[in-house]
Each structure stands twice: as structure tokens, then as C-alpha cells.
Structure 1
């Protein structure tokens, strides 16, 4: 009776110990999953080897085995981390890049360049094997860490150049697209203008016909020429004549040229001012009005009109001051 009781108590103690160990293992496993998720999230995204925690010498079988191990370990159904799905996607993308032959060759070339630069910095041969014992002497940080750090710098430089090239291509494509849009818009405007021109053709023809008929039916008004004549005393008696009428007649018939006309006009106005200084203002008004009327409508002397107005104004000032 007592032996059976002791056996039961020992079994219960063993079961409780196993439960405690299982609980601790579960907690440790959950903690490790969270640590692995954080490591993947913090890994350099351009280096798939860094995400999978593999060396460049890893075989395709090593890559698949490592991926299966990590994917099961951090699977969102098992890991309680809030960003476990994001880490799982990053892990899947890294495995795809290393499984792609071309992408892995590009990454291997950069990793090899970084490895050669680190070996040269330690004056070591560049053809050393990955498991060479001399590489173990490189510590703090280790050779592997140094190679990954240098590869990270190279990958960042390559990514910056790639993005600049993309922006430049997009800018060029945008410029070409704008030019094409402007050309299309210009052609559309031209087509629309031509269409409107054709649609308004009849309206323009009707407007011109209406204008032409009104022009033919309208009588031309003959401008009235009001002869302005002055009567003033002279040494030979009273004379009545128009200075500008006489000048325009002689000029139009070619009897006098521009220079001679100026002197002739000056003499006529001067003679009139001498005999009748009280009519000086009338002389100025008379000459200015006649010049506007006759000279502006006469082709031969119309270009001389400003000169004659200036001459008459000068004579008027001089006659007023008594210097004529």
C-alpha cells in the first residue's frame, strides 16, 4: 500500500517537471522566434546572403535548406511577433533572388569585389579560399563582417546610381511625352481652326458682297474747297489773291520745286504781313488752314506739309515781334 503511494507521488513529480520543461522550452522558442524576426527585419535588404545568414560559398541545396528552416521558424502562424508576416515576405524574396541565376551572379560579383578589397587591405593574396586558416586571424570585427560591411557600401553606391538613372529616364520620358502632347494639341488646334474657317466661308463671302454693294451704291461726296482770299493794300493798289492756292497750283503743275516753293511761300506771306501787321493773326490762321486743306490732299506736296507749317509759325512769331 505504501509502495504504490510512493510510486504515484514520484510519477506526479516527474510529470510536473516535464510540464515545466515544456513550458520553458515554449517560452524559449517564442523568444528565439522574436529574435530571429528582428534579425531579418534589421538585415540589409539588398544583400540576400545577409538576410538568410549564409556565406557566398553556399550551394543551392544549402540555400533551400536554410530557407525551409527559417520559414518554419518565423512563420506567422507560430511567431507571435507583430511584424512576423513582413519578415516572412523578406525571407521569401531573398530566397527567390539567390535562386535566380542572373541575380545571384550579380550579387556574387559585388561580394567578390568587397572580399578582394578587404584581402588587399591586409596584404593577403586575393585567391585565398573561404575556409583558409589565415582568415581566422582577422578579428574585431571578423573577416566575414568586414566583407559584408564593404559589400553593403558597394551595393548602396550601385543602388544610388540605378535610381538616378531611373529618374533621368523618367524625366526624359516625361519631356518626350509633353512634346508629343503639345504636338497633338497643336494639330488639333489647326484642324479646329481649319474647320471653323471652312464653316465661316459663306459668311465671309456674304459680308464682302454686302460691303461691295454698299460701296458702289454710295455717292462720293466732293470735298468743298472754300477759297480764302484777303484784300490788303500794296504799293500798286488793292489786290485780292490766295497765297496757298497759287502755290499749290504752281507746284502741281511743276512750275516750282520744294525749295523754290518754300521761298516763294515765305515771300508772299512776308509781303502780306508788312502791309497789314494788324492782320498777322489772320495770316497765321489763313496759312495753316489752307496748308491743311490743300497740301494734305495734294500728292505732289503732301510730304512738305510739316515744313510749311513750321515756316508759317516762324513768320508769325517774327512779325509779332517786329523783326519781319
Structure 2
């Protein structure tokens, strides 16, 4: 039963992957320049489900006239490839793809229900298989974008907490150091005070030490 579920999930991924390739072929010519432009534009990290041969098209050695952006594009493809090698990351990606499809299906269903309630024809643009695929693609990319934003926010928060913890530990170490130094100073001051007090007492005793008076007897 579990094997059947995994097979179904993998099939869904391959189907989606195939659809992504079709959309990309329709919208873009697979040239080095166009792929570098696509992979380095704002939000590009959300569009990295690309054929692995893109790494050849965007390799910096092949695009020396635009080496910096080619390097960024190459790293994006490499990152996507490595993520898909991780089974846990692949499962998360498949879950996002499935969630995107289910969201579009639910939205279409609700829109049709509303149209029927209003007495209108229950025809929506997603009835066209190609437009439905595009809607799923866009929604899936939005979900990936949201996850990426949350990931960056989480990392930023963790970094902030780590810096705060380090600063707190530093303050505590400095306070402890100052406390130790001030304690040593207080001990030294107390010892000096005791020594001075003892010395004054001894000096005072020596100053006021007088021989007893001898009473002289009167001759008879």
C-alpha cells in the first residue's frame, strides 16, 4: 500500500515536471542568455525546477561575457539539483506540488458552485487543460515562494536570537569579571583598613602608656 502511494506521488511529480518543461519551452527559447535572464531575475529562486541540462547552458565558462550572472544562474540550478537528491527535500517538494494542484481544483470547484448559484454557465478558463496546468504551475510557484520567505524569516530570527544570546553571554562574562575585580578590591581595602586600624591602636597604646605614680612617704 505504501509502495503504491510512493509510486503515485512520483508519477505526480514527473507529470508536473513534464508540464513545467512544456510551459518553459512555450514561453522561452532555451538559450544561455534567456536562461541566465530567467534564473537571475527577482524571485528566480522560486523557479528552479528546470531540466538539468540548463547547467550546461548557463555555465560561467560558456558565458564569459556575462560571467557574474551566469555564476548565479549556475548556482541556482546546482542548488535545485542537490535539493532533489535529498529524499526529505524531494518529499517536501512533492507535497507542495500536490497542495498547489488541490488548491486550484478547490478554487475551480468553488467558482463553479458560485456561478451555478447565480444561474450562470459553470464554465471557467481552467476547463481548458492547458490553462489548468498553468494555474497549477503558478499556484505551486507561489507556495514555493511563501515557503522560501518563511524559511528566510526563520533563519533571520534564529540568527538574531543567536547574536542576542552571544551578546548576553558576553555581558554576563564582563559583569562576572568586573564583580571579581571589585570583590578583590573590596577585600584588599578591608585588609588595608584592618591593618591601618590595628597600627593606629598600637601607636595609641604606645603614646599613652605612662609609668604608675609612686606615692612618696613623708618623713616623720
> Deviation at 1:108?
1.4
Question: TM-score normalized by structure 1?
Answer: 0.42
Structure-2 residue corresponding to 1:114: 100
* Partner deviation per Cα, 1:245-297 (whole Å, 9 max, x = no partner): xxxxxxxxxxxxxxxxxxxxxxxxxxxxxxxxxxxxxxxxxxxxxxxxxxxxx
* Partner deviation per Cα, 1:157-195 (whole Å, 9 max, x = no partner): 323333333343334434433443333223222322332
> Deviation at 1:101?
1.5
Structure-2 residue corresponding to 1:38: 37
> Deviation at 1:106?
0.9
When the two structures are aligned, how many residues end up with a matched partner?
161
* Partner deviation per Cα, 1:69-115 (whole Å, 9 max, x = no partner): 32333333334551323222222222222222111111111111111
Question: TM-score normalized by structure 2?
Answer: 0.58
Q: Are 1:137 and 2:128 an aligned pair?
A: yes
Structure-2 residue corresponding to 1:177: 166
Q: Give the gaps of 5 or more residues in structure 1.
A: 1-30, 53-65, 125-134, 219-324
Structure-2 residue corresponding to 1:209: 198
Q: Give me the whole-angstrom Cα distance separating, in 1, the residues matched to 2:61 and 2:166.
A: 48
Structure-1 residue corresponding to 2:12: none
Alignment RMSD: 3.3
Q: Give me the whole-angstrom Cα distance separating, in 2, the residues matched to 1:45 and 1:121.
A: 26
Q: Which has the higher helix share?
A: 2
Q: Which of 72, 78, 86 is the matching residue for 1:92? A: 78
Larger Rg: 1
Q: Is the 8 A contact 1:48 1:98 kept in 2?
A: no
Q: Is the 8 A contact 2:36 2:73 kept in 1?
A: yes
Structure-1 residue corresponding to 2:60: 76
Q: Give me the whole-angstrom Cα distance separating, in 2, the residues matched to 1:146 and 1:103.
A: 23
State the secondary structure of the residue aligned to 2:61. coil
Structure with more contact order per residue of length (Cα contacts < 8 Å, sep ≥ 6) = 2
